[in-house]
Amino acid sequence: MTQPPPRIQIGSFTVAFLTDGLWRNDGGCMFGVVPRELWKKDHPPDELNRIRLNLTCPLIIRGRDAILIDTGIGNRLSDVERRIFDHRDGWLPDHIQALGMEPGDVTAVVCSHLHFDHVGGIVRRRNSGLLEAAFPNARIFVQKGELEVASNTRNERLHAAYRHIGEILAPVASRIEAIEGPASIIGGVTAMPTGGHTRDHQICIIEDGGDALAHLADIVPTRSHMRGPWNQAYDLDALTTMKKKALYLGRAVAERTWVSFAHDDHVFAARVKNDAGRLVLTNGVMVSEGLDG
Ligand SMILES: [Zn+2]
């Protein structure tokens, strides 16, 4: 039986930290220009140089609204890809059930961007092999520019980053709503473009009752990426990533509000404090060691 996911309260919103499971990816790709000697202590690499990562998907609940931010990898990977990324079937459906909910109760999905580890779980592969919408009643919010680049690019690097996109978007095409710029999903929940990781990457901000949570998605994928120069090799514009994370982390420090990370394997979310120039986490919502599928 899956444990119920940890939750925090942001005013009248409950935010549950679901995960689509732990996985592994190359440490060099995750830390870009930062040498392995510096990241290996906090993120010990395995014999294939992979580090352990999470697939954090916050679920924002109030009344009948249930807004999911990102969907993890899902269960669509081939056997070879499952070995490369050390990921099995996605855990998201079990974690939704552990909250006493069904996938059909999710009213909206906000996609930070369309890389496979954020959007793969928007579909489920049935035993027959057919892919179907994982959240059959959800409106799906994606930045228009992200959709355009993912669907139409001829650039070799971008094309590789979005090679899964036709298969994933086809079953949910009629549910997708392309948004341009900042967009209110419901009152108090805002999708906010940042660029940086991809040109149209967006974060999600939840505000109510004088408190707030910014899910920083892939501009601060782990706690270690709070440091300015620690950025993923995947970032198309690392200088924009640096500017935007300084803005939102600075705001979280000044206003004593929450941030959450897409991929940290220890902490889902925390408040942030400036300790003599170094950002430290307080009130951490921790990833339980007993996490299992
Ligand atoms: Zn990611």
Q: If you search the block for the tokens 């650039």, which residue do you land on?
A: 155
Between the CA of 39 and the centroid of ligand 1 the distance, in Å, is: 18
From first to last of the 293 residues of the chain, give the pLDDT tens digit. 678 999 999 999 999 999 999 999 999 999 999 999 999 999 999 999 999 999 999 999 999 999 999 999 999 999 999 999 999 888 999 999 999 999 999 999 999 999 999 999 999 999 999 999 999 999 999 999 999 999 999 899 999 999 999 999 999 999 999 999 999 999 999 999 999 999 999 999 999 999 999 999 999 999 999 999 999 999 999 999 999 999 999 999 999 999 999 999 999 999 999 999 999 999 999 998 656 54
Between the CA of 53 and the centroid of ligand 1 the distance, in Å, is: 9
Q: 223 and 271 in contact (C-beta within 8 Å)? A: no
Between the CA of 262 and the centroid of ligand 1 the distance, in Å, is: 7
Between the CA of 131 and the centroid of ligand 1 the distance, in Å, is: 22
Give residues with Cβ within 8 angstroms of 158, minimum separation 6: 149
Best CA proximity match to 220, nearest among 259, 267, 189: 259
3-state secondary structure 126-144: CCCCCEEECCCCCEEEEEH
d(CA 288, CA 293): 12
d(CA 219, CA 249): 11
Q: What is the DSSP string of 40-78?
A: TTTS---TTSEEEE--EEEEEEETTEEEEE---STT---
- What the chain holds in terms of domains, given with CATH numbers, is 7-286 (3.60.15.10)
Between the CA of 152 and the centroid of ligand 1 the distance, in Å, is: 21
Between the CA of 74 and the centroid of ligand 1 the distance, in Å, is: 13
Between the CA of 113 and the centroid of ligand 1 the distance, in Å, is: 9
Between the CA of 187 and the centroid of ligand 1 the distance, in Å, is: 27
Between the CA of 287 and the centroid of ligand 1 the distance, in Å, is: 17
Maximal CA-CA distance, the chain:
57
